[in-house]
Structure 1
């Protein structure tokens, strides 16, 4: 047997031993009610922390900028808003967009009136917070929102 095969075999045996040890450790935790509760509490804290980090990353840069190609120096600002239901929306040129999907270029935000009014307007925002593309042809008037003191927005009908 060559030296490289022996090293590979030793690595595989080591990995197998680690997996078995981890399974045994997990079984001890599950069988002990105090340790099981501690594990659940730890998982809850981690989930909450990750959830807060996602929200902070959305709100961290509260606006996105787009350089207007025709007029240098003119910037259009898109603002991240939070509704009274806790939903995160993007407000750009008085129109409101909801997150649609992730693409290579960035995150695609579609108009909130896409389903009800058949509006195909969308905005693509890169991970750096730059508006890559904006198709701003809407089939409706911009919705009206009222901003509360706590920073949430309520749509006015």
Structure 2
């Protein structure tokens, strides 16, 4: 999770990893992140803007994060 949005790992490159917004296929969001492979906390670049609000999550009593569905 980054800035309240969730991302999926798309591919690993030699020095970086590329992440796509989890709403890429369902909502056509084109936002992506490129992170340093050795230290994934460091964001190299953010491409594009989200075309949707961030997903909402709650934490269960067992410590599991659950996504709230909108609908």
Q: Fold-level match, TM-score > 0.5? A: yes
Cα offsets for 1:101-138 (capped at 9, x unmatched): 11234111100000011101011111222111112501
Stretches of structure 1 that go unaligned for 5 or more consecutive residues are 1-90
1:106 corresponds to which of 16, 20, 31? 16
Is the contact made by 1:105 and 1:132 (CA closer than 8 Å) also made in structure 2? no
In structure 2, runs of 5+ residues without a counterpart are none
Across the two proteins, how many residue pairs are aligned to each other? Answer: 67
Give yes or no for contact 1:105–1:124 (8 Å, CA) kept in 2. no
Alpha-carbon distance between aligned partners in 2 of 1:138 and 1:120, rounded to the nearest angstrom: 7
Higher helix share: 1
Higher-strand-fraction structure: 2
Q: TM-score w.r.t. structure 2 length?
A: 0.81
Higher relative contact order (Cα pairs below 8 Å, separated by 6+ residues): 2
TM-score by length of 1: 0.39
Supply the distance in 1 between the matched residues of 2:47 and 2:13 (Cα, whole angstroms). 16
> Equivalences for 1:117-156 in 2 at 5 Å?
117-126=27-36, 127-129=38-40, 130-135=42-47, 137-156=49-68
Q: Deviations over 1:14-58 (max 9, x none)?
A: xxxxxxxxxxxxxxxxxxxxxxxxxxxxxxxxxxxxxxxxxxxxx
